[in-house]
Amino acid sequence: MSLSRSEQMSRIRGRDTSPERVLRSALWRTGLRFRLHARKLHGRPDVVFPRHKVAVFIDGCFWHGCPKHYVRPRTRDEFWSSKLRENVERDRRQTLLLEKDGWRVCRYWEHQIFESLNEVVESVRQALQDGEWNPSASWRVVQVNPQAGEGDMEQRLMEDLRDATTMRSVFGRRSTKKWKRT
Ligand SMILES: [Zn+2]
């Protein structure tokens, strides 16, 4: 079984504190039992509850366009722009395919695992319960356009994870808040 990028990085650093690992331990502590990457499922979710058909993904803040932490790289603008859009579109495709097959898809940002783990665990528990389940909207940065003039301003375009026609555009100073674990 191949390891995710952050898991590989954790191994290299010699301690296994990847967000996947942190979430799995927390779920395990609350008595929830699950399976790891289900190879046959779209996108290979990080955690899977086959009986309840709940799939959990952890999305890295940079690669998947976290509204709080996506930082537009200064170089190779076109490369990074198309990379970002591809990633968000892949996330959307995987999510919609799974949901069409009757799965409940929970996607969390890497920063949520470290900042609000209890809420994440609670939200997984909600998804595991029978009855209504309404996944909340999840904004993804899909494009950042630097603005001419002073002040290092940029336009950030965002789309909803599940619906590309739900969009918003925000103008502001260039975001430099990368997600960093403290
Ligand atoms: Zn983030």
Q: Quote the ligand 1 centre to 117 CA distance (angstroms).
A: 13
pLDDT at 6 exceeding the cut of 90: no
Please state, as a whole number, how many other Cβ atoms lie within 10 Å of the Cβ of residue 59.
23
Q: Contact 107/95 with Cβ under 8 angstroms?
A: yes
Q: Give 44-83 pLDDT, tens digit per residue.
A: 999 999 999 999 999 999 999 999 999 999 888 889 999 9
Q: Quote the ligand 1 centre to 62 CA distance (angstroms).
A: 7
Would you say residue 169 lies in a domain? no
The tokens 């799965």 sit on which residue?
103
Least confident window among 59-68, 83-92, 128-137, 166-175: 128-137
Would you say residue 182 lies in a domain? no
Would you say residue 163 lies in a domain? no
Would you say residue 143 lies in a domain? no
Measured distance CA(133)–CA(164) in Å, rounded:
21
Would you say residue 77 lies in a domain? yes
Q: Give 37-51 pLDDT, tens digit per residue.
A: 777 888 999 999 999
Burial of 171 (0-12, 13-18, 19+ CB in 10 A): exposed
CATH code of the domain containing 13: 3.40.960.10
Strands (E), 44-131: 47-49, 54-59, 104-109
pLDDT at 5 exceeding the cut of 80: no
Number of domains in the chain: 1
Mean pLDDT over residues 84-95, rounded? 96
Phi, psi (rounded to 5 degrees) for 40: -80, -10
Would you say residue 15 lies in a domain? yes
Would you say residue 147 lies in a domain? no
Q: Quote the ligand 1 centre to 67 CA distance (angstroms).
A: 7
Q: Contact 13/27 with Cβ under 8 angstroms?
A: no
The tokens 């395990």 sit on which residue?
28
Q: Quote the ligand 1 centre to 51 CA distance (angstroms).
A: 30
pLDDT of residue 167: 93
pLDDT of residue 110: 96
Would you say residue 164 lies in a domain? no
Mean pLDDT of the chain: 89
Per DSSP, 30 falls in state T
pLDDT of residue 1: 43
Which residues, by Cβ under 5 Å, contact ligand 1, an ion? 61, 66, 68-69, 109, 111, 179
Nearest to 80 by CA among 58, 98, 65, 96: 65
- Residue 14 structural domain: 5-137
The pTM of the full predicted model, rounded to 2 decimals, is 0.86
Angle at 64 between CA 58 and CA 60, to 5 degrees: 40
Q: Quote the ligand 1 centre to 68 CA distance (angstroms).
A: 5
